[in-house]
Every structure is written in C-alpha cells, then in structure tokens.
Amino acid sequence: MRKNKVLPLLACTGIAKNKELYLPYLGAGIFSSFLYFTFTSILYHPIMGTLPRAEYAYVMLMLGFVLLNIIVFPFLHYTYRFVIKRRKRELGLYSILGLEKKHIAVMMFYESIVTTGIIILGGMLFGLVFSKLIFMLLFYMLEIPVLNEFPFSFKAFQITAVFFLVSALFNLAFSLYAVGKSNPIELFADSRRGEKKPKFLGLLAIGGVLILGAGYFLSITASMDQIIFLNFFLAVFLVVIGTYFIFTSASVMALKLLKKKKSFYYKPANFITVCGMYYRMKRNAAGIVYICVFSTMIIITLSCTLSLYLGMEEVIAFLNPYDIRMDCQPDNAEEDKRAVEAAVEELKAECGLAEADTIFYKYRSMLVKLEDGKMETSEDLEWWQEHVYEIEFVTLEEYNQASGENKTLGDHELFLYSNGQDYKGSAFSILGEEYTIKEMLAGFPGSMKKQENTFNQDYWVVVKDYHALPEEFSSLLGNEVLRTIINVTGDSEAKSIFAEKLKSYFPNAGYRSNIERKLDMGAMYGGLLFLGIFFGLLFMICLVVIMYYKQITEGHEDRENFDIMQKVGMSRQEVHHTIAKQVLLVFFLPIFGAVCHTMAAMPMTTLLLSAISLFDRGMVIKCSCGVLLVFFVIYGLSYLITAKAYLRIVERRGS
C-alpha cells in the first residue's frame, strides 16, 4: 500500500527532476494539441457549411487534417522515445532499490496521466485564446467576411482528447514493453545505447545511393502527364528511404573506408574526427535523417506557399480570361447579337458598372486526336484520352471581326492558336490532307496564352472558310455556335448581380460566369496558402524539438568522452575544438542533404505548380532561394539555442 501511495509522488518528482527532457516534450505536445484543436474547431464550425466558398476551405482543411494526423502521431512518439531512453537509467535504479516492474509500470502510468493532461488542457487553453485569430486569418485568406463569433466546439474537444489519449496509450505501451523486457542492468545500459548498427552495411549503403538516385531521376526527368502526381509521391518515398540508408549506412561505410586509409587516418586531427564521427553516425544517424527530411519539407512547403501567394492573381487571370461567356445556336446571328448588346447596356446602367465590352464570333467544334501535326477523328474518342482535344474551328471572316484585324489566307493555309506552347513546324495534316500553318496566332478572343502551359492546352483553328476543310471532315463538324464574350468593370458585388440577371435574360444559352469562379478560386488558393503557412510552422517546431533532443542525447554521451580525452593528455581547448567540429558536421550534414533534395525537387515542383497554372519558374526559383536563406538563418539560430543545452551538459562535472 505504501508503494502505491508513493508512486504518484514519484511520478510527479520524476517529471520535475527531468524537466530538461519533459519541458520540450510537453511544449511540443501542447503546440500539437493546440493546432489539432484549432483545426478541428474550424473544420466542424457550423459556418463552414453555410457561407459561400467556405466549402473550398473545408476540402483543403480535410486534406490538411489527414496530413496533420500522419505527422503529429509519429512525431509525438519520436519525442517520447527520447524521454524514455534518457529515463531508463533512473528506472533501472528504482528497480535495484526495490520497486517491482509492476510498480514501475504504475508510476509510468501516473506520469502518462499527468503529461497527457497537461498537453490536452494546455492545447485547449491556447486554442481558446488563439483559435479565433487563426479562424479570422483563414477567412481573410479566403476573402470571406470575417465573423466575430467563434464558439467553443465540444466536438473538437472530444476529437482532440481522443487523439492524444490514443497517442499517450500507444507511447505508454511502448515504454512498458521496453522496460518490462529488460532487467535493471540492461536499463542502465540502454540509456547510453545508440541506434542498432544495421546489418549488411555495404549492401544497404549501395542500395541507399541507388534508391536516392532513382528518386532524383524521377524528379529531374519528370514531364507533365497524367501520372505526374503518382510520380511525385513515388519520388518522395524513394528520397526518404534513400536518405535513411545514406545516413545510417552509407555514411558509416564511408567512415570505415577512411579508417582503412592509413595515410589519412593515422594523423592526430583526422584520427579523432573520423573516430568521433564514426561513433556519432552509428549511434544517432536516424535523428539526422529526421532533421534532413523535415528541413526539406519546410523549404519546399514555404517555397510553394510563397510562390503561390505572389503568383495567385496571375494564375486566376490565366484560368479566367473573361468574365462571362455565352454559347447559343443562332436562328439569326445579327438579331441575336443586337439582343445581347441591348441587354448588356441595360444591365450595365442598372447595376452601376463602369464598362462592359462585348465580343462575338461563330465557331464549329469537334473532338479530334492531334499528335505530331496530324489531326484525326473517330467515334471512340473521349476528351480525357491523351492527345485528344475539342478544337474550335473559326472562319477567317469571324476571326477578323472578333479581333479587329484584317488577315488573309490562301488555299490550304490556316492560322493555329494554342493557349500553351506553340506548335513546332509549318506543315499540318487534317485527315491526311496537308495544310500550311501561315501563322501561330499570339492571341485569341477570350483566351490567355502561356508558352509554359503543356498540361491543359486548348487549340483554335482559323480557316479561310469551312469549304477549305476536307469534305468528310467538314461534314462531321458540329453545328455552328454563336459565342459571346463579355468583360465588365466594377466592384465584385455589382458584377455578380450583373451576371445573374444576364443569365435570366438568356435561359437557353450555354452560360459560364467566371466572376464567381474567380472568387471561388481565390478561396481555394487562400486555403492552400493557409495550409502552407500552417504546416511550415508545424514542420519548424518538429525540427527544433528534434534538434534539441539530439543535442541533449549527444551531450550526455560526450560528457564522459570529454573527461576521458582530457585524462589521456588532450587539453580542454583541444577537446572543445574537436567536439565542436564533430557537432557542426553532424548538424550541418542534414542541411546539405536538404539543399540537394530541394535542388533535385525543383523540376518536379515547378511542374506540379504549373498543373495549377503557376508557370513562372523564375519566380519559383527566386522564392526557393529566398526561403533557403531565411531557413539557414533560423536553422543557425535554432542550432545555437539548442547547443547551449549541449554545452551545459558537457561541461557539467560528474555523471
């Protein structure tokens, strides 16, 4: 009974006495709980299902919520492993002093209750204080009117509490298993034991280089096709696995080879550095892998976020080059044009718009397969198939009227326009009949051109008249359609009212308004920006905590090495210099890896951004360089701050 009464006190005392271990763990847990609670509070806020365009934020948040679970759960377990590893010596001492394993298990259970309670309640407290601010930030990015009310969500509290309780139970089960299978002597040794040395070192080293090379190859040689996203996830998987093998096996293998090179190894400075690095890489390589991977995530996430923020207006403008488009099959084209112009003038005055420009042209369209300058058609074509496009055919007369130009075409000549990369070559074949491309048009009414657009290309063909096309092909073209393109100038609300009223004037026309679509896309990209900032901050917190625990672990290991080196004749200054050199190498190796990963990821990253019509690769590269510079500064400051904890431990006297 006495033991059972004292166990809760021992649990609290153990937490207090090991504050250098528990405070970072509790801080990381509280921050994670705060983010989790805030995320779920926004996700399950009643307003998300009622406000216009809030559904776009909901989709983005759902994706972020899944990613949050994937990141936070293993991160909490990883940090908890650091704590338990440093506590094993203490737990072994308790066992020697008479506590049975079941009593140690009960004590650890109480510790888990205390730490989990602090994490959940601390996260809730910060959530109540700051979640409204984050909610307002999200709505600001979505360009949605900000609400003053943000009530406490009991459902969010339940979900957060369950998640962190499950995480705590998993960590407790892990620690009980680790302690239960070991005797007191093993517990003493475990606190100083590093990571297991991998078997088949040479094979894993070669495999790591090949796997990492395969991930780099996928990224560097990536092309914009239908499997680009699958290739992206495969490349990420290969790079992470390759990084793990490089640092845990290839680095150790390289140091072993240096040890065999006697002319290099048997020099005092090289001998101590190589031995120290060999010891560190064998014991703590997995921590370096985590730092490298999280650094890469931070750099790429923030680079994409900053690029999207700076290029968002250009992206929305490219995808929405006009405000309103109407298509109808005309009974009398001239009368239909006059009716549209009259309606536009009437509604422009009624809605208080400054300008309203109207463009008309007639076209006929067909689904065709266009490849290598050859245009073919068949009944089994589907729009989603590769090299299949719905191409609009416009007569020269209609094009000149719509564009205000006065171009001419001869027999078997045509103009070709693409809103993406220009067609290379001058010969063009339609059902086997040869045509000459007189000019690649630089623009077309209702379209915006980007040479970098290779994924969502559309084509227009201008011919002298439809009789200039092969007779078989001309007979397969669809009915002639009158297209109206309208651009208006005014505030968003007036433009939206104008679009709704105009639609009611022509209920039978094929109608598309980009006015609301622009706002919807702004909301969607605003949600992406929010997630980018959110997860960039989360990755940075994870990185700093991992760096801190790595410094703590290596500090305890180096303290004894520090004393031994002085006993064998090295001066205190020489020992300081040797250890500092090794620590710098260990902590800046992952940064070198992160820079290599980022450079290799650039081709695929720019392609993925071009999939959402962000084509300015120069801007993406500049943003990446800027993020890298800022990250180097933050990483350096984080290193200096966490290094203080390392120096305190190393210079502390006694075990």
Number of domains in the chain: 2
Residues β-bridged to residue 414:
437, 463
- Tell me which of 444, 471, 489 is where a domain ends: 489
Instruction: Outline where DSSP puts E strands in 45-123.
Output: none
Give the separation between CA 280 and CA 583, rounded to whole angstroms: 9
Give the separation between CA 370 and CA 373, rounded to whole angstroms: 7
Residues 6+ apart with CB under 8 A from 88: 178, 179, 182, 187, 188, 190, 191
Task: Give me the residue label for tokens 């992470």.
Answer: 240
Structural domain containing residue 78:
1-193
- Tell me which of 489, 506, 533 is where a domain ends: 489
Q: For residue range 441-462, what is the model confidence (pLDDT) as tens digits?
A: 989 988 998 888 877 788 999 9
- In this prediction, residue 279 carries a pLDDT of 62
Question: Between 149 and 537, where is the model more confident?
Answer: 537
Q: Reply yes or no on whether the pLDDT at 1 is more than 50.
A: no
Residue 14 in tokens: 């153990």
The predicted model scores a pTM of 0.73
Give the separation between CA 354 and CA 258, rounded to whole angstroms: 76
**Does any domain span residue 499?**
no
**Does any domain span residue 154?**
yes
φ, ψ of residue 194 to 5 degrees: the values are -85, -165
DSSP string, 559-577: HHHHHHHHHTT--HHHHHH
**Does any domain span residue 321?**
no
Question: Between 211 and 585, where is the model more confident?
Answer: 211
Give the separation between CA 470 and CA 431, rounded to whole angstroms: 7
Give the separation between CA 95 and CA 98, rounded to whole angstroms: 5
Residues β-bridged to residue 489:
355
- What's CA 40's distance to the chain center, in Å? 20
- In this prediction, residue 393 carries a pLDDT of 93
Report which DSSP code applies to 231: H
In the chain, the percentage of residues whose pLDDT exceeds 90 is 14
Q: Reply yes or no on whether the pLDDT at 2 is more than 60.
A: no
**Does any domain span residue 557?**
no
- In this prediction, residue 189 carries a pLDDT of 56
- Tell me which of 193, 216, 247 is where a domain ends: 193
Length of the chain: 655
Q: For residue range 359-415, what is the model confidence (pLDDT) as tens digits?
A: 999 999 988 888 877 888 877 777 777 778 888 999 999 999 998 899 999 888 999
* Contact (CB, 8 A) for 412 and 468: yes
**Does any domain span residue 480?**
yes
Report which DSSP code applies to 61: H
**Does any domain span residue 378?**
yes
- In this prediction, residue 600 carries a pLDDT of 92
Q: What average pLDDT does the chain have?
A: 79
Question: Between 557 and 169, where is the model more confident?
Answer: 169
**Does any domain span residue 120?**
yes
Give the separation between CA 446 and CA 196, rounded to whole angstroms: 63
**Does any domain span residue 334?**
no
425's torsion region: left (phi>0), alpha (psi -120 to 50) or beta?
A: left
Q: For residue range 251-302, what is the model confidence (pLDDT) as tens digits?
A: 677 767 766 777 666 666 666 666 666 666 666 667 778 788 888 888 888 8
Report which DSSP code applies to 248: I
The CA-atom distances, in angstroms, between 463 and each of 73, 301, 458, 467, 640 are 61, 47, 17, 9, 69
* Contact (CB, 8 A) for 427 and 434: yes
Q: Which of 203-212, 280-289, 499-508 is least confident?
A: 280-289
Radius of gyration, CA atoms only, the chain: 33
- In this prediction, residue 172 carries a pLDDT of 87
Q: Which of 78-92, 165-179, 467-481 is least confident?
A: 78-92
